[in-house]
Amino acid sequence: CVRLRRKGREQRGWVDKEIMATMSSSSTTTQCSEPSGVWSFTTLLNPIAEVFFTSTTSTKNLWLACGTGILVGVGLCRLATIMSRASRRPKNVKVVYFKMAGRAGAVRAALKLARIKYENDFVDRDSMQELKPRLPFGQVPVFEVNGEIVAQSNAFLRYVGKFSGLYPDDPFDALKVDEIVDGVSDSMLLLRPSLLEKNPDKKLRMRKELISSDGSLRVFLQNMERLVQRNQDKSGAIGRGHACGKELTIADISLFTILKMIHDEIFEGIPRTLLTNFPLLKNIQDNLNGLDVWGL
Candidate from 21-30, 101-110, 125-134, 242-251 with smallest mean pLDDT: 21-30
Instruction: Tell me the pLDDT band of 3, cut-offs 50, 70 and 90.
Output: very low
Q: What is the model's pLDDT at position 220?
A: 97
Contact call for residues 262 and 270 (beta carbons, < 8 A):
yes
Q: What is the model's pLDDT at position 42?
A: 53
The residue that leads in pLDDT, 229 or 25, is: 229
Cβ contacts of residue 186 below 8 Å, gap of 6+? 220
Instruction: Tell me the pLDDT band of 236, cut-offs 50, 70 and 90.
Output: confident
Instruction: Tell me the pLDDT band of 119, cut-offs 50, 70 and 90.
Output: very high
The residue that leads in pLDDT, 181 or 81, is: 181
The identity of residue 192, as a single letter, is: R
Q: What is the model's pLDDT at position 237?
A: 74
Radius of gyration of the chain (CA): 28
Mean pLDDT of the chain: 81
Model pTM score: 0.71
pLDDT in tens, 239-280: 677 999 889 999 999 999 999 999 999 999 999 999 999 999
CA 248 to chain centre: 8
Question: Alpha-carbon distance 187 to 258, whole Å?
Answer: 8
The residue that leads in pLDDT, 62 or 81, is: 62
Instruction: Tell me the pLDDT band of 146, cut-offs 50, 70 and 90.
Output: confident
pLDDT in tens, 22-42: 444 444 333 434 444 444 445
Question: What values do phi and psi take at 168, rounded to 5?
Answer: -65, 150
Beta-sheet pairing, 142-145 with 117-122? unpaired
Beta-bridged to residue 142, according to DSSP, are: 96, 151
The residue that leads in pLDDT, 16 or 185, is: 185
- The span from the first CA to the last CA of the chain, in angstroms, equals 67
The identity of residue 53, as a single letter, is: F
Candidate from 69-78, 93-102, 157-166 with smallest mean pLDDT: 69-78
- For 266, how many CA atoms within 13 A lie in the half-sphere containing its CB? 13
